Amino acid sequence: MAVAPPRPRQSAARAAQIAGFYSGNEMAALSAKQIDFHLMGYYPITPSTEIAEHLDEMKAAGEHNIVMVPADGEHGAAGICYGATTGGGRVFNATSSQGLLYSLEQLPVQSGTRFPMLLDLATRAVSGPLDIRGDHSDVYFALNTGWLIFMARGPQAVYDMNLIALRVAERADVRLPAIVAFDGFFTSHQKRRVSIFEDDTTVQDWLGPVPESVTALDPRHPVTIGPYMNDPDLINNKYQLERAMDAAQGALPGIIAEYEALSGRRYDPVDLYRMDDAEVAVFVINSAAETAKDVADQLREQGVRAGVISPNVIRPFPAETIRAALRGVRAVVLGERSGSYGAHGANLTHEVKSALKDDPENRTLCLSRVYGLGGRDFYAEDAEAFFRLALEAAECGEVKVPFDYYGVEPGDPTKPPRRRKGAPALTREEATSGLLNVEPGENGRLKVDAPPYWQLAAKPKRVLPGHGACPGCGMFPALDQFLRGIEGDVVVLYQTGCAMVVTTGYPYTSHRVSYVHNLFQNGAATLSGLVEMFKERMRRGELPSGEDITFVMVTGDGGMDIGMGAAIGAALRNHGMIILEYDNQGYMNTGSQLSYSTPLGHMTSTSHVGPAELGKAFHHKDTPQIMAATNIPYVFTGVEGYPDDLIAKAAKAQWYAKHQGTAYGKILISCPLNWKTEDRAGVEIVQAAVDSCFFPVYEIEDGVTHITYDPEPIGRRVPVGDWLKLMGKTKHLCKPGNEATLTAIEAEVERRWKRLKAKDENPLL
Ligand SMILES: Cc1ncc(C[n+]2csc(CCOP(=O)(O)OP(=O)(O)O)c2C)c(N)n1
Ligand code: SF4
Ligand SMILES: [Mg+2]
C-alpha cells in the first residue's frame, strides 16, 4: 500500500474555525481525530472514558483511521502506547486517577527513552476510598515522571493545549511525552461554546510531519532502545532529560505565539490575572482559577488590589515567571487540589516557595491550603475566603497558620458505614441452614446433599435488598443464590464494579457480613493476604478457636481482565478462597465499555456499530479455561436459571476452598440497561445463551471436566442467532449483510463446545 507523503508544515496565519458547543472530553476526541494519531491505546476510567468512546463512535462512522487498541488495564495501555511510539508514529492515550497511577511506572520508562506522545488526563481523586470526582491528586503523582504537564482549564483549552503540547513534545531538542490535564467532570463533562479548526489539515499542517527519529521499524538501521544502563550513564540520561525540559521551556513562548497567530487564542505558561499591581493573590490551577478571577474583580471594586496566578504549564515549572509575578505581592494563598501528606504543604506550594527563595528581595507571605479534594466544589465564597486569608496576613504582616486544609470537618471516627435499620449482623446460626452436606464421592467428585432451592429461601440474605442496582439486573439474584449455597460465616471482597458501587455508597452499606473493597486490578491478591492472615492468627491462637470463615471474592468480568494477573497469582498459590465472577459482558458501571468477555460483534460504548465497524472486533475471553489451566481444584460456570445446580456448585466451591485451595466460578448475569433489553427479559436471554452453547454450564473438579447441563440430548439446543436476536446490543448481527460476523461467532461457539464435550468425555483432556 502506498503511503502518502506527510504534508509540510505551513507558515502560520489565522485559520478558519467553526463554533460548537462541546465538553472537554469531546474536545479531546475532536483534537485527536484532527491530529490523526496513528494509534490510541486506552482503558476506560471515569471521567476520561468518553474520550475513547467518542473516538470509537467516530471511527465506526468512518471519520478517522486511528487504530484503537483496548488494553487489559492502564498498565497495558501505557505499554501499548510506549511500544507504538518506538515505531515512530503519533500516539494518544486518555486516563484518570487510578488509571494514571496504575500506569505510573511506565511513565519514566517512556520519558527516559525520550519517545513523545500525548496523554489526556481528566483529573480525578486518587483512591481510596474510591471517589470518582475531580481533584488534582492524580496529576501530582506525575510531577516526577519526566513528562511535560500542561493544565487546561476549560474545553477550549483542552483542544488548544493538545495541539500546543504535541508541538512542544515532538521538538528535536525536547522529545518528551506530554500530559494535558483538565478537571474531571467540571471540564471533562460540561459543555461550553468553543471553536475548532474547520479543516483537519490546519491541525496537521500546524504539527507538521512526524519528526524523523529513532524507530524500531527500520530493519536496515537497527537500534537498541532502552539498554541496560549503569553509572555514569544513567545520571547523564537524567541530566539530558532535565535539559530537554529546559528546551521545552525555551520553546514555549514561540510556539504559543505561533498558535495565537493561527487560532487567536493565547496560553502563556502562567496565566496572570490583574497581577501587575496586586498586593494579595490567589494561586490556583485550572477551573478554580476562573472562579477566583471573578472574585478578584469584585474585590477590586471594593478597593482591594487582588490578582490570580494560575499556571497553564507545571512541567517544566515556570518558576521565573511566578517569581516575577509575586515580587510586589504582600501575601499569596497557594491553593492546591492535592495533598502531600506530612510535607506541610502540597508539592507546588514548595515549588513556589523555592522559586521565591531565589529572589532576595521577595517578602511575599505564603499560605498553603489544600482544598476541593474528591470533587468538593470551589465556589466564589471559597475564593473570597482565600483572598481574605491573604489580606489578613498582609495586614498583620505574619502568617499565623502556614498550612491547613480548607473546608473540612474533623469527622467522627466512631461512625463506620451503617447497615440499614432492622438489619443487624448475621449470626452464625442464621448463616447456617444445616441442610447442605458435602463429602468426597466416587470418581474424585464431591457429593452434595442439598435440599431443593425453595427450602433455602428462609436463609437470610447476606446482601440486603434496597441497593441501587438497575431494575431487572441479574446480578443480585444470582449472587444471592450462590451465597445461599455457602454455609456459615463469610467474609467478602468486592472488586470495583456494579456490585460494589451499588451496595456501599458511604455512609451506608448493604452488606451484612464483613466486606472489603479493593480496586479491581488487585482484589485476588488482597483477599489472599486476608486468608493467610486468618490462618496465621488462628495458628497463633489470636482468634477464637473454632472460628471458621469462608472467603469469597466477587468480581465482574472486567475485573478478570485488569485483575487477571492477580487472580492467576492467587490461583497458582492456591489460597483457600473462592473467586466468583459475575459476567455481564462488559464494563457496565462505567457505561458499558467492551471487556475481553464481550463477545465478537457485540455493541458497546467502545465497540460501536457503523459503516466502518461492526461491534467488538475479537472473540470473548474463555476465563474458566484460563483459570482451569492454573490447576486449581475447582472451576465452574453457572446461571440463575438453574438454582439447584448453582447451589450445589457453591457448596462444592466452599468445600474446596476449605480443604484444597482456590475455587473459581463464572456466572452469566443479565444487564438489561446495557444489553438494551426489557427489564424482565434477563432469564430468557441467559437461558438462550446457555441453550445455544455460547455459555456452557459445567464444572472442572480436580482437572476433570463435567458438563452439568447439556441442551443437545434433551433437544433444547438453539442456534446462536436465537440468542443474539433477543438483545438490542446484538440485533444488528442477525441482519442481512452481517452474516460473516454471525458465522464467525457460531464457529467459535461450536469449536469451544466441541472441545468441552471432548473434555467431558475424556478425563485426561
Ligand atoms: C485502575 C482502574 N482502572 C479503571 C477503573 C474504572 N473502572 C472501575 S470498575 C470498571 C469496570 C468494571 O467492570 P466489571 O468488572 O465487568 O464490573 P461491572 O461494572 O460490569 O459490574 C472500570 C473500568 C478503576 N476504578 N481503576
Ligand atoms: S448496569 Fe447492568 S449490571 Fe450494572 S446494575 Fe445496571 S443492570 Fe446491573
Ligand atoms: Mg462486567
Over residues 399-443, the pLDDT tens digits come to: 999 999 999 987 787 777 776 666 788 889 999 999 999 999 988
In one-letter notation, the amino acid at residue 352 is V
- Give the ligand with the smallest distance to the CA of 583: 3
Ligand 1 pocket member 675 (CB < 6 A): no
The pLDDT tens digits of the residues spanning 712-724 come to 999 999 999 999 9
**Residues near 45 by beta carbon (within 8 Å), at least 6 away in sequence:** 74, 95, 96, 97, 98, 99, 124, 590
DSSP labels for 519-561? -TTSHHHHHHHHHHHHHHHHHTT-S-TT--EEEEEEEETTHHH
- Give the ligand with the smallest distance to the CA of 126: 1
CB 245 within 8 A of CB 315: yes
The H or E element spanning position 121 is: strand 118-123
From the centroid of its chain, how far is CA 495? 13
CB 106 within 8 A of CB 75: yes
**Residues near 270 by beta carbon (within 8 Å), at least 6 away in sequence:** 309, 310, 311, 312, 313, 318, 321, 322, 325
Q: Is the pLDDT of residue 287 over 80?
A: yes
Give the residue-averaged pLDDT of 742-748: 98
Candidates 590, 620, 668: which one to mutate for ligand 1, based on the most atoms within 8 Å of Cβ?
590
Integer Cα distance of 343 and 321 in angstroms = 24
The pLDDT tens digits of the residues spanning 89-98 come to 999 999 999 9
Q: Which atom of ligand 2 is nearest to the CA of 669?
A: 3
Which ranges of 447-486 does DSSP label H, i.e. alpha helix?
Answer: 475-484
| Site of grid cell 495586614 | 395
- Give the ligand with the smallest distance to the CA of 674: 2
Q: Give residue 420's pLDDT.
A: 65
Ligand 2 pocket member 32 (CB < 6 A): no
Phi, psi of 592 (to 5 degrees): 65, 55
CB 433 within 8 A of CB 647: no
Ligand 2 pocket member 500 (CB < 6 A): no
CA of 558 to the centre of ligand 1 (A): 6
Phi, psi of 205 (to 5 degrees): -70, -35
CA of 207 to the centre of ligand 1 (A): 35
The H or E element spanning position 561 is: helix 559-562
CA of 518 to the centre of ligand 3 (A): 16
Candidates 520, 620, 729: which one to mutate for ligand 1, based on the most atoms within 8 Å of Cβ?
520
Cell of 636: 465452574
Integer Cα distance of 181 and 285 in angstroms = 10
DSSP labels for 652-673? HHHHHHHHTS-EEEEEE---HH
The pLDDT tens digits of the residues spanning 243-258 come to 999 999 999 999 999 9
Ligand 2 pocket member 681 (CB < 6 A): no
Cell of 263: 487560532
CB 583 within 8 A of CB 637: no
Ligand 2 pocket member 490 (CB < 6 A): no
Nearest CA-CA partner of 524 in 478, 572, 477: 572
Give the residue-averaged pLDDT of 61-83: 98
Candidates 673, 677, 727: which one to mutate for ligand 2, based on the most atoms within 8 Å of Cβ?
673
Which residue has its alpha carbon closest to ligand 2 atom 5? 469
Give the residue-averaged pLDDT of 625-645: 97
Candidates 476, 479, 498: which one to mutate for ligand 2, based on the most atoms within 8 Å of Cβ?
498
Question: Checking DSSP bridges between strand 634-639 and strand 697-701, what pairing results, if any?
Answer: antiparallel
CA of 681 to the centre of ligand 3 (A): 18
Integer Cα distance of 494 and 469 in angstroms = 15
CA of 586 to the centre of ligand 1 (A): 9
Ligand 1 pocket member 670 (CB < 6 A): no
Integer Cα distance of 382 and 369 in angstroms = 11
Give the residue-averaged pLDDT of 224-253: 96
Q: Give residue 5's pLDDT.
A: 40
The pLDDT tens digits of the residues spanning 465-488 come to 878 899 999 999 999 999 999 999
Angle separating helix axes 643-659 and 475-484, nearest 10 degrees: 60
Which residue has its alpha carbon closest to ligand 1 atom 24? 45
pTM reported for the whole predicted model? 0.96
Integer Cα distance of 429 and 487 in angstroms = 9
Candidates 74, 498, 526, 587: which one to mutate for ligand 1, based on the most atoms within 8 Å of Cβ?
587
Which residue has its alpha carbon closest to ligand 2 atom 6? 470
Integer Cα distance of 92 and 33 in angstroms = 10
The pLDDT tens digits of the residues spanning 159-168 come to 999 999 999 9
Q: Is the pLDDT of residue 506 over 90?
A: no
Q: Which residue has better confidence, 392 or 423? A: 392
Nearest CA-CA partner of 626 in 693, 707, 583, 564: 564
Integer Cα distance of 422 and 404 in angstroms = 41
7 to each of 3, 209, 728, how far by Cα in Å? 12, 6, 43
CA of 591 to the centre of ligand 1 (A): 10
Which ranges of 187-344 does DSSP label H, i.e. alpha helix?
Answer: 200-207, 233-263, 287-301, 319-326
Average pLDDT value for the chain: 95
Nearest CA-CA partner of 557 in 472, 486, 616, 645: 616
Candidates 42, 43, 45, 124: which one to mutate for ligand 1, based on the most atoms within 8 Å of Cβ?
45
CA of 406 to the centre of ligand 1 (A): 31
CB atoms within 10 A of CB 4: 5
Burial pattern 302-332, b for ≥16 Cβ within 10 A else e, equals eebbbbbbbbbbbbbbbbebbbbbbebbbbb
> Residue 306: beta bridge partners?
280
Torsional sign, CA 196, 200, 203, 205: negative
Nearest CA-CA partner of 494 in 573, 563, 585: 563
Residue positions counted in the chain: 765
| Site of grid cell 506527510 | 6
CA of 588 to the centre of ligand 3 (A): 5
Listed residues: CB within 5 A of ion ligand 3: 556-558, 584, 588
Ligand 2 pocket member 672 (CB < 6 A): yes
From the centroid of its chain, how far is CA 225? 29
Q: Give residue 422's pLDDT.
A: 62
Ligand 2 pocket member 674 (CB < 6 A): yes
- Give the ligand with the smallest distance to the CA of 44: 1
- Rounded to the nearest 10 degrees, how much is the dihedral formed by the CA atoms of 282, 288, 293, 299? -60
CA of 561 to the centre of ligand 3 (A): 10
Query: How big, in percent rounded to 5, are the helix, strand and coil portions of the chain?
Result: 40, 20, 45
Task: Report the share of the chain in percent with pLDDT over 90.
Answer: 92
CB 381 within 8 A of CB 416: no
Ligand 2 pocket member 584 (CB < 6 A): yes
Give the residue-averaged pLDDT of 39-52: 98
Ligand 1 pocket member 74 (CB < 6 A): yes
CB 197 within 8 A of CB 13: no
Integer Cα distance of 408 and 401 in angstroms = 15
Q: What is the DSSP letter of 68?
A: E
Integer Cα distance of 532 and 89 in angstroms = 47
- At residue 557's C-alpha, the angle toward residues 555 and 563, to 5°, is 65
Ligand 2 pocket member 469 (CB < 6 A): yes
Q: Give residue 464's pLDDT.
A: 86
- Give the ligand with the smallest distance to the CA of 471: 2
CB 452 within 8 A of CB 644: yes
Which residue has its alpha carbon closest to ligand 1 atom 16? 558
